Chain A
């Protein structure tokens, strides 16, 4: 058992190929996070970086970390990112006016300095031989035998024996998180909910249109949704074209409501042209 397991843990050609294919993709995605204009694009690129990192963890004999990365980080934390984007508003424009002068320059300088510090510190250690996870995943017990189990089993063994107190205290952290979420986000109703009856009364008192709006008319020659419906007397129902589409049509220069059926064939010219292409 042991020689094959240990042999399988050496850096092989596949692992090197994996790194050199996915590493540049991860770097590009990370750059995309910083430089993307659309916030949702940046969030998705971040998700991509996290998935590639999970891949690297799996390649380094740490499958538990890979699964945790996907389940918790990509699954929960990225989702929270997107929730925040949703709550703040996806179309919120980033204000490019700097409130602190020279902040960008200082950030670049400090960031580069930190990067150099970390490269020096970690690189110093990395050029020596590293221990890897072979001994941690398949440790040798007192009798000299190599135990089986793998990464997840050994992690469990550590969590539930050596770090058991930290594990139990983490549950206190989870309670605090749930408590905090409820305190900040959950409003208890002071007044009872308005029932459907009361909502309906309010709507009629305001004088709103009581029935559902008519759907758009579709002629044999036009399949556009901005085609208005015909009323029994031959006029066109303004209500049948949704407001937003009416506005869009007006913005784009199409006359929204034709004056008669004859001119309908001619005036919705752009629709007609598109149709007969």
Chain B
């Protein structure tokens, strides 16, 4: 009888009021979550032969639908939704749109590389490497199509992480985005032990960083009596309490966020994980995770802890300088192209951190622009890395890349374009990205950071140009690797990367204005 009485809420004086949920504002994330769940059902019910194609179509359709939903949401008013847990403001839409576009590119790579016989993904991850069972699975043509729903969950987490307006939801989103990536990093088909080692390293260090986040969350809650960013900011303005609790909490949360975006000294996982993971997943991680992590970093530090800017700015200076220096200098000695790109992504994280050190509106918009440019050039670069193959898979050692320009001028030329973009040379998007970021840093009073940034750019340019020279100036070895022609999906992803890099290099103003209109973050 009490159950029936519950449905007549009006008669109940203790009735808990229903929460108000603005479905339209969170529709993009709901679409991606829904696609991921349907993907799991596809895994359960669709027969094996049709699974890969069904998953690809479903995932692509879902991402495109979510992107349309994001664009349709631009007309909505800027406000906090879902019980103030999600901030539906300009930067959220911009970052979610960027992540979706990047994920479409990454998904094209994943799909291309898992449908063909020459897949980059393991036949069955539960097989021990080097056993007869593994050979039997490969002969039987098994395919680990769980990659698709896992990637979709990661995308959903990436979309939620920068949009979260309270620390609890940010933590859950961090886990949703990280767990599938830990799994996906271990699923490479060749050099499986290296891949599993990368997955274990990523998992252990990522689990520790999540623990730091929760610890910081607890301490901040103890200080501010709330986990919402707005409430934390308000509590910082009242100075009747000692700061030590919130500063320790902020430091712990900062450690976790810096881990996710490969800031020194929490960058140690990046080269090993980027090298060991299957290359489509490396492209996905390099692009998507960084964008999501930077979005969350900006929101947490600017909105929640803006009042402590005097305390955290010197630390960000140090971290930015160290990150740029490590990324630049350690990249010079690398001989594996994926590790080199990993160190270059560390350097790029450092460049973005220089703008982050200046807490102005221009710094927010320049960071958003840089993330767009950086994401697409990385997806394109890793897509080309996937094409350089020899008899036993990808040829990642730089010594095997000698003379590839003679073998396949088109692909080598496109790779050179991406390397020039990473170096920040015209007429690519990288130039305008660096200009925007350094300008914002300089105007925000972080002049020395700009100087270090320019020097680090010069060092990174050295090793990018060294690769270009390597590819074009010498004769290729006779039994060297070939550059495989990309399938239709990979070609689409590469074309997307090239288009964005060149278009943003020639006419950056549209996206710069878009980024400028998107900020500031909702306080």
What residues of chain A have their CB less than 8 Å away from a CB belonging to chain B?
117-118, 120-122, 124-125, 128, 131, 147, 157, 160-166, 169-170, 172-173, 175-177, 179-180, 182-188, 190-191
Chain B contacts of A125 at CB under 8 A? 222-223, 241-242, 244-245
Which residues does chain A contribute within 8 Å of B125, judged by CB atoms? 183-184
Chain A to chain B contacts (Cβ below 8 Å), 24 pairs: A121-B219, A121-B248, A163-B85, A163-B168, A164-B83, A165-B26, A165-B86, A169-B160, A169-B169, A173-B175, A175-B36, A176-B179, A176-B180, A176-B183, A179-B150, A180-B182, A183-B125, A183-B126, A183-B187, A186-B126, A190-B136, A190-B137, A190-B142, A191-B136
Q: Determine whether the beta carbon of B126 is less than 8 Å from that of A169.
A: no
| Chain A minimum-CB-distance residue to B222 | A125
Distance to closest chain B CB from A34 (angstroms): 18
Residues of B near A179 (CB, < 8 A) are 40, 146, 149-150, 183
Chain A residue contacts of B19, Cβ below 8 A: 160-162, 164
Nearest-Cβ distance from residue B64 to partner chain A, whole angstroms: 21
A183 proximity list for chain B (CB < 8 A): 125-126, 144, 146, 183, 187
> Closest A-chain residue to B19, C-beta based?
A161
> Is B156 among interface residues, defined by CB-CB distance under 8 A?
yes
Contact status B85-A165, CB under 8 Å: yes
Tell me how far the C-beta of B17 lies from the nearest C-beta in chain A, rounded to whole angstroms: 7
Is the beta-carbon distance between B244 and A172 smaller than 8 angstroms?
no
The reply to whether A170 and B242 contact each other, CB–CB distance below 8 Å, is: no
A190 touches B140 (CB 8 A): yes
CB–CB B172/A166 < 8 A? yes
Find out whether the CB atom of B133 lies under 8 angstroms from the CB atom of A190: yes
Q: Which residues of A contact B142 (CB under 8 A)?
A: 188, 190
User: CB-nearest residue of chain A relative to B32?
Assistant: A172
Give A125 to B175 CA distance when docked, in angstroms.
29
In the complex, what distance in Å separates the CA atom of A170 from the CA atom of B153? 11
Say yes or no for B82: interface residue by CB 8 A criterion: yes
Instruction: Using A165-B85, A180-B183, A188-B124 as known contacts, say yes or no to A121 and B150 having CB atoms under 8 A apart.
Output: no
The distance in angstroms between the C-alpha atoms of A91 and B139, with both chains bound, is 37
Give the Cβ gap from B3 to chain A, nearest Cβ, in Å: 16
Cβ–Cβ contact B126 & A184, under 8 A: yes
Taking A172-B153, A175-B37, A187-B133 as contacts, is the C-beta distance between A161 and B17 under 8 angstroms?
A: yes
Main SS class of interface, A:
helix
With A and B bound together, what is the CA distance between A118 and B216 in angstroms? 11
Give, as a whole number of angstroms, the nearest-CB distance from B16 to chain A.
5
Q: Which residue in chain A gives the minimum CB-CB distance to B128?
A: A187
Given the known interface contacts A160-B19, A188-B124, A188-B142, the answer about A176 and B168 at a Cβ–Cβ threshold of 8 Å is: no
Q: How far is the CA of A99 from the CA of B2 in the complex (A)?
A: 64
Please determine whether B244 and A187 come into contact, CB atoms closer than 8 angstroms: no
Main secondary structure on chain B at its contact with chain A?
A: helix
Closest to B138 in A: A190
Identify which of B17, B26, B187, B242 contacts A124 (C-beta below 8 A). Answer: B242
- Give the distance in Å from the alpha carbon of A170 to the alpha carbon of B257 in the complex: 20
How many residues of B are counted as interface, with CB atoms below 8 angstroms from the partner's CB atoms? 55
Candidates A131, A172, A187; contact of B156 at CB < 8 Å: A172
- B residues bordering A, Cβ < 8 Å? 14, 16-19, 21, 26, 33, 36-37, 40, 82-83, 85-86, 124-127, 133, 136-137, 139-140, 142, 144, 146, 149-150, 153, 156-157, 160, 168-169, 172-173, 175-176, 179-180, 182-183, 186-187, 219, 222-223, 225, 241-242, 244-245, 247-248
A116 → chain B closest CB, angstroms: 11
B248–A118 CB distance below 8 A:
yes
Given A124-B244, A165-B169, A166-B168, CB of A172 within 8 Å of CB of B176: yes
Q: Which of B21, B85, B153 contacts A175 (CB 8 A)?
A: B153
Q: Give the chain B neighbours of A177 by CB distance below 8 A.
A: 179
Complex contact B176–A169 (CB within 8 A): yes
A161 to B168, CA, bound (A): 14
Closest B-chain residue to A122, C-beta based? B245
CB-defined contacts of B139 to chain A, threshold 8 Å: 190
- In the A-B complex, the 5 residue pairs with the smallest Cβ-Cβ separation, listed nearest first, are A121-B248, A187-B126, A190-B136, A161-B19, A124-B244
Query: Within 8 Å CB of A185, what residues of B?
Result: 126
Known: A180-B183, A190-B133. 5 other contacts (CB 8 A): A125-B223, A163-B85, A166-B169, A173-B176, A180-B180
Taking the nearest CB of chain A, how far is it from the CB of B259, in angstroms? 16
The reply to whether B82 and A172 contact each other, CB–CB distance below 8 Å, is no
Q: A163-B85, A175-B37, A190-B140 are in contact. Are A157 and B245 (CB under 8 A)?
A: no
User: What is the minimal beta-carbon distance from B212 to any residue of chain A, in angstroms?
Assistant: 11
- C-alpha spacing A187/B124, complex, angstroms: 7
Q: How far is the CA of A176 from the CA of B180 in the complex (A)?
A: 7
Q: Name the CB-closest residue of A to B20.
A: A161
A residues in contact with B182, CB < 8 Å: 180
A173 cross-chain contacts in B, Cβ below 8 A: 172, 175-176, 179
CB-based contact B127/A187 at 8 Å: yes
Contacts of B149 in A (CB 8 A): 175, 179
Q: In the docked arrangement, what's the CA distance between A188 and B48, Å?
A: 12
Q: List the A side residues contacting B26 at CB < 8 Å.
A: 165
Pick the contact of B83 from A128, A165, A175, A191 — CB < 8 Å?
A: A165
